[in-house]
Amino acid sequence: MAPTTRKRAKTAATPDSAGADTGGTSHVVEEGSGCDDKIDNTFEDAFPDAQSDHDSDDSDYVANGRKKRKRKSDKGQKAKPKPLTAFEGPPPLPVGDLSDNEYARNEDATAAESDDDGLWSTSRRSNAAALAVAKENKVAPELSIQITGNGEAKTLISHNLATLLSNAGMTNLTLTLPAAFAGEKADSNMDNLANTTPGQKKKKKQRKKKSGFFKTLSPELRLRIYKQLSKLDKPIEFGKSDVSASAQFLRTCKQAHVEGREILYGENSFHFTRDTRTRGKFYDKVWKEIGYKDIRRFLQDIGPDNIACLKHISFQLTDAPDNRTRSVPGQITERRFVEDPHLQEIFRLIAANATLKTLALQFAGRAMVTQYDRRFLRALTEMKCYKLVIINQFFSSTHKCAYNLKDKLKQVMWVRDEKGNRVKLEEARKPVKMVYSVGPAAPFMVNWEVVR
C-alpha cells in the first residue's frame, strides 16, 4: 500500500498563540519571501557583529576570535619596582703554587763564602733590616714653611735641610722617635695651637663625641678582651689540619686591629714544622710535597707589620721523606732542609721585620748540620732573639748539630746593645707556652735547654 502524506492544517494567527510562541511579543507571520527578512531584522540587535571594529583598543576580541589582553590605565601600569640584581665579577684566579726552582747549592759557594765572609761576626745585621733602619733615619731633603698673614697673604719658605744642618756642624744625625705609650695614643700637638679657628675646634669636639663605645673603655679592659679572644692555651702548630686562630674581631675597627694584633701574634707561640703532604694540579704527573711553602705564604700574607708582632717561634726542621721526591733528579740533596729556598726565605722575612723574645730550634734531619752549610746558616743567623733554646729531644726526633756550632749561633743571634753586650729580658710571671712545654710528656720524650 503506497504511503500517504498528511498536510498540516493551517492555523490562524491569534493574539494568544503569538504570545505563547514569542514570549508575550506579538508578531504576525506572513507567507511569502518577505518573511525571512522580517525575522532577520527582528534579531539584528541581539547578536552584534564581533568583527565590526577591528581597530578598537577597547575591543576584547580580535579578527580571528582570540581574546586580546586588556590595556591597563596609566595608574595600573605602575608595577612594583624590580629588585636590583647585582652581577658578581668573575671569581679570582687561584693562587699559584710557589716555585720550586733555583735551589741553593752549597757546592756553588764563592771563594768569599768559603772563608766565612763575616758569617760569625757579632756586628753583622741582615741587609733588609739595615735598609729599613736607613730609610727611617733618612733626613728629609727639604723643609717647607708656609706663613699666612692677616691679609691672607701666603709666603712659602723652602730650605735644604741637609745643607742647613751641615753648615751648623751637625753631620752625623740619627732621627729617633719616642716609644709609643701602652694604651691610649697621645693627642697631636696641633690640637694645642693657639691659632686654631672656632670652626676647627667645633669639628674636633664633634669627632670626640662620635667616638665608639669600644674606645670609651679603659686600656685595661680592652687588654682583657683581647686576651680572652685571641690568646690560646696551646701553641699554634703549622703542619697540622687544625691550625686556627680567628682574627675576625680585628676587622671591627682600626683601633682593635692595631691593639689586638699584638696579643694575637705576640702572646701566642708559633711552631713551624714540615708538612709532608703532597699537593699539585690534576694534570701534574708527580705531585710535590708542601714542605715549608705554607709557612712562607702565611708570613707573606700577614705582612711586615704583623710579622713585627711575632715574639715566640719554634722550628722543627726535618728532611723530606724518601717516597715524596724519589722521582726528582738529585733527590738526596733536594730532600735536605738546609737546601730548601722556602725555609731560607722564611728566615729572611722574620729577620727583616721582627726581634724575637724566644727562638727554639731543632735540626732533625738525616745528616748533621755543620759549619759548611753556609747558605743555610747565613739565612738562619740573620734572625735575632733574646733567648735561644735548643730542643735536644722531641718525641722521636733528635737534634743533630756539630758540637761547636751552638756556641757560634748564640754569639751571632743574641740581641746586643751598642757596646756589644748581650741584652737580657726579665722572666715573665706567666710565660708563653711553647710546644716543648705543653702536655704531660715524659722527660726522656721531650728535652730542651736554654743556651747560656
Average pLDDT on 390-419 reads 88
Cell numbers standing for residue 445: 720524650
Does 351 have pLDDT greater than 90? yes
Q: Give pLDDT, residue 187.
A: 43
Q: Give pLDDT, residue 377.
A: 92
Q: Give pLDDT, residue 20.
A: 46
Task: Flag the least confident range among 15-29, 40-54, 153-167, 352-366.
Answer: 15-29
Cell numbers standing for residue 286: 708527580
Instruction: Indicate the pLDDT class of residue 382, thresholds 50, 70 and 90.
Output: very high
Helix (H) or strand (E) holding 391: strand 385-394
Average pLDDT on 374-379 reads 91
Does 373 have pLDDT greater than 50? yes
Does 169 have pLDDT greater than 50? yes
Cell numbers standing for residue 405: 756550632
How, if at all, do strands 397-398 and 236-237 pair? unpaired
**Contact status, residue 349 vs residue 377, Cβ threshold 8 Å:** no
Q: Give pLDDT, residue 307.
A: 93
Q: Give pLDDT, residue 119.
A: 74
Does 327 have pLDDT greater than 70? no
Average pLDDT on 269-280 reads 88
Q: Give pLDDT, residue 344.
A: 92
CA distances to 321, 334, 336, 420, 448 from 286, in Å: 15, 15, 19, 51, 38
Higher pLDDT, 146 or 300: 300
Please state, for a pLDDT cut of 90, what percent of the chain lies above it. 15
Most confident range (mean pLDDT) of 3-17, 104-118, 213-227, 230-244 is: 213-227
Torsion of Cα atoms, 271 then 272 then 276 then 282, to 10° = 120
Does 353 have pLDDT greater than 70? yes
Instruction: Indicate the pLDDT class of residue 125, thresholds 50, 70 and 90.
Output: low
Higher pLDDT, 195 or 263: 263
Most confident range (mean pLDDT) of 79-88, 252-261, 380-389, 432-441 is: 380-389
**Contact status, residue 385 vs residue 355, Cβ threshold 8 Å:** yes
Average pLDDT on 106-132 reads 57
Does 54 have pLDDT greater than 70? no
Q: Please give the single-letter amino acid code of residue 321.
A: P
Average pLDDT on 418-444 reads 81
* Residues 311, 268: Cα–Cα separation, whole Å: 8
Does 300 have pLDDT greater than 60? yes
How many angstroms from the chain centroid is the CA of residue 308? Answer: 18
Place of cell 710546644: 435
Q: Give pLDDT, residue 226.
A: 87
Cell numbers standing for residue 201: 675646634
Higher pLDDT, 170 or 425: 425
- Cα angle: 245, vertex 250, 254; to 5 degrees: 160
Instruction: Indicate the pLDDT class of residue 441, thresholds 50, 70 and 90.
Output: low
Average pLDDT on 283-296 reads 87
Please state, for a pLDDT cut of 70, what percent of the chain lies above it. 49
Instruction: Indicate the pLDDT class of residue 115, thresholds 50, 70 and 90.
Output: low
Mean pLDDT, the chain, rounded, equals 71
Does 408 have pLDDT greater than 70? yes
Instruction: Indicate the pLDDT class of residue 101, thresholds 50, 70 and 90.
Output: very low
Write the CB contacts of 376 (distance below 8 Å, at least 6 apart in sequence): 104, 337, 338, 339, 343, 344, 369
Q: pTM above the 0.75 mark? A: no
CA nearest neighbour of 358 among 235, 222, 209, 206: 235
* Residues 136, 83: Cα–Cα separation, whole Å: 53
Average pLDDT on 157-180 reads 58
Write the CB contacts of 310 (distance below 8 Å, at least 6 apart in sequence): 265, 266, 270, 350, 354, 356
Write the CB contacts of 136 (distance below 8 Å, at least 6 apart in sequence): 175
